[in-house]
Chains A and B, each alone.
Chain A
Amino acid sequence: MRKTEDRLFGGIMGIFALLTVLLLAFLVFFIVRESLPAIREVGLRELLLGSQWRPIIYQDAPSYGMRNMILSTVYVAALAVAFALVIGVGCALFLACFATERQRMWIMPYIDLLASIPSVVFGFIGLYFVVKFIEKCGRAAGESVLAGGIVLSVMILPYMISSCCDTMVKAYSRYGGSSAALGVSKWYTAGELVLPASRKGILISMALATGRAMGETMAVMMVLGNAIGLPRLLGKGETISGLIALEMGMAEVGSIHYSALYSAGCFLMVLLFAINIIFELLKKKLSREGSL
């Protein structure tokens, strides 16, 4: 009785698991299939490295280079992760080592709440505060890679903090007692013991945050200006996801433009896979060194 029950249960769960995997496989297959015409027609090299994105043009031949978009995506995400890393690690360190259990119980839900705010809201706040602030500082247009980085960093902060905090609490419970017994200062414990011990946790949180930062569309689109030129810190840019969101509705189904947008999605996916693999390798390396 017990056995058949277990087997049945296991079987059903297995089907669901298989379904999920199939869904992912189907997604990848679909995106790759749709992007093939553009890759064949335009060429991978031109798509990836071409500096001109002019999908619709009335006299010359159209060009589909998305180097600038790929660079923008990486630029904005890197900036955001850098900002969020500094604030997030500091915040997590405070929560793990200096805040009391009670304080942590109070603060954490608010940080998690930050993650549930819709991205359009962040976009609006970015548009009316960050962009306006940059304009106040003398730029004619405040839409910029910097504004995108700032808005995104706030959006990925909760992921960063909660996953860092978990590891750091663990690390603190390992070293906190003995440090206190030895009479070592809290600052030393936090900086020299807890921080290095949670390198792996920080890395995982960075991977999570990068993934989210690269895929984010709405908020970034609202503050980045969506200009197709080469991205500069105070200049405008357009991310891959922004490009797809802006143009997918207009592209003629089945055209090269349409397919090129799919291939943009494909590149974004590959970029994310690559980044995740790099983080995974780093994590393995740190695991061997005995990090938490």
Chain B
Amino acid sequence: MKKLISLLLVLVLCFGLVACGAAQSTPATEAAPATEAAPATEAPAATVAPIEIDPQIHFCGSSSLAPVIASIGAAYLEEYGTWDKVNPAFPAEEIDIAVTSGGSGDGPSSVLDGTADFGMLARSVKDSEKEALGSGYTEYMVASDALTISVNKKNPVCEIMDDIDTDTIRKIFAGEIAYWDEIDASLEHKEIVVVIRDLSGGAAEVFEKNVMQGTPISENAIQSPSMGALAAKIVENEYAIGYAGYGVYQKNLDNLHAFKVNGVEPSEENILNGSYKIQRPCLFVTNRPLDAAEEAFVDYIFSDTGRAIVAENGYIPAF
């Protein structure tokens, strides 16, 4: 008897699972006709023909750009809520801007395998990637970000030195200059703690191109999983040096000190006019024409509101 009961329970659970799975998948298929019909009954006089859209827009890629797009998406949702508020011809479905953060490499690859509508990158797109994405390839440049050569404000080197040249930076990151007193004899004989992003991130690539140029980075460098962690490490450790992004540098102005590189200060002006060399573009790409909803959201990104949010996140708007 007991066995029969447990058997029944197992079966009920199984059916429950199947039912749940089915219930989750049905709205997607059923909702479309329902909402298509909705505007017709609500506003029979309206002349707008309903436009079919995908209510979810999915961005995937660079962890530097992800928070920016996410906050623009949040602002968009707050302002409109449902798609029909954006354009009466759209269905009355909730706006869903999904942002998945990974690395710059994820951007093009997720667009390619269809998991995302847009891929975000914090470096320029490689030719091989452009080729893979095909003829529908379009890129949308959102912002510029620079890498500052930052140290902890408590480090006495801030008072001695204001400017650093590419050669010295290269030697420090390659581990050839390993102690602070090798930079200036008045400094402590303490190891220079080099902090980098993981070797395959977008920032690492920009740094490689502009500074290292083939010299391998020291095997003793700490790899941080994100820009935030990299800045936090420098804030925590007064012997650290790292290439903090302009965004995180702006957020930690009280604790970080950024050197001029070859005499050029990492200021907004210098980054935009290209005289500060260690910089990278933040952009997103797609490989097909946009649908109406995507177009509406992309327009929003490049609006004044979008611009303000980009600047708020510490990046320099590129439009």
Q: Which residues of A line the B interface, CB within 8 A?
A: 5-6, 8-9, 12, 54-60, 135, 139-141, 143, 221, 225-230, 235-236, 238, 245-247, 249-253, 257
* A6 close to B216 (CB less than 8 A): no
Partner of B219, one of A8, A140, A228, A257: A228
Closest to A227 in B: B220
User: Measured between alpha carbons, how far is A236 from B225 in the docked complex, in Å?
Assistant: 15
Minimum CB distance partner of B102 in chain A: A249
Bits for B199-221, please: 1 = Cβ < 8 Å to A, else 0: 11100110011000110100111
| A98–B134 CA distance with the chains assembled, in angstroms | 72
Residues on B with beta carbons closer than 8 Å to the beta carbon of A6: 3
8 Å CB contact of A140 from B113, B191, B205, B223: B191
Q: Which of B171-192 contact A (CB under 8 A)?
A: 190-192
Whether A55 contacts B191 in the complex (CB less than 8 A), given A5-B3, A252-B109, comes out as no
Interface residues of B in 220-239 (CB under 8 A from A): 220-225, 237, 239
B residues in contact with A249, CB < 8 Å: 102-103, 105-106
Residue ID in chain A nearest B221 by CB atoms? A227
B191, B208, B219, B222: the one contacting A58 at CB < 8 Å is: B208
A140-B192, A228-B219 provided; 11 other pairs, C-beta below 8 A? A6-B3, A12-B10, A54-B199, A56-B200, A60-B214, A227-B219, A249-B103, A249-B106, A250-B105, A250-B201, A251-B105
Enumerate chain A residues within 8 angstroms of B205, measured Cβ to Cβ: 56
B193, A141: Cβ atoms closer than 8 Å: yes
Please tell me if B104 contacts chain A, counting CB pairs below 8 Å. yes
Whole-angstrom distance between the Cβ of A14 and the nearest chain B Cβ: 13
A227 and B109 within 8 A (CB): no
- A253 with B237: CB separation less than 8 A: no
- A251, B193: Cβ atoms closer than 8 Å: no
| Nearest CB in chain A: distance from B102 CB, A | 4
User: Is B105 a contact of A252 with CB atoms below 8 Å?
Assistant: yes
Point out the residues of chain B lying under 8 angstroms from A230, CB to CB. 219
Contacts of A54 in B (CB 8 A): 199, 216
The residues of A that contact B240 with a CB separation of less than 8 Å are: 141
For A55, the chain B residues whose CB sits under 8 A away are 199-200
Residue of chain A at shortest CB distance from B201? A250
Q: Which one of B3, B103, B204, B237 contacts A141 once the chains associate, using CB atoms below 8 Å? A: B237
Asked if B3 contacts A9 (CB within 8 A), the reply is: yes
Chain A residues with Cβ below 8 Å from B103 are: 249-250
Using Cβ atoms and an 8 Å threshold, which residues of chain A touch B208?
58
CB-CB < 8 A to A135: which residues of B?
237
Within 8 A of A (CB), among B59-118: 102-106, 109, 112-113
Is the beta-carbon distance between A229 and B219 smaller than 8 angstroms? yes
Q: List 22 A-B contacts (CB under 8 A).
A: A5-B3, A5-B4, A9-B6, A12-B10, A55-B199, A58-B209, A140-B237, A141-B193, A141-B237, A229-B219, A229-B220, A230-B219, A236-B220, A246-B198, A246-B223, A247-B200, A249-B106, A250-B104, A250-B106, A252-B105, A253-B113, A257-B200
Q: Which residue of A lies closest to B225 (CB)?
A: A246
The answer to whether A141 and B239 touch across the interface, beta carbons within 8 angstroms, is yes
Q: Are A8 and B7 in contact (CB under 8 A)?
A: yes
State whether A226 and B200 are in contact (beta carbons under 8 Å apart), knowing that A8-B7, A250-B106 are contacts in the complex. Answer: no
B222-A235 in contact (CB<8A) = no
Q: Is the CB of A143 within 8 A of B113?
A: no
Instruction: Indicate whether A140 sits within 8 Å of B239 (C-beta atoms), given known contacts A60-B214, A236-B220.
Output: yes
The answer on a CB contact under 8 Å between A247 and B191 is no
A251/B200 in contact, CB under 8 A:
yes
Say whether A227 contacts B223, CB under 8 Å.
Answer: yes
Whether A56 contacts B199 by the Cβ 8 Å rule is yes
Question: Distance (Å) between the CB of B182 and the closest chain A CB?
Answer: 13
**Closest B residue by C-beta to A221:** B225
Interchain CB contact under 8 A, A238 and B223: yes
**B5-31 Cβ-contact flags toward A at 8 Å (1 or 0):** 011001000000000000000000000
Known: A54-B199, A54-B216, A235-B220. A140 touches B190 (CB 8 A): yes
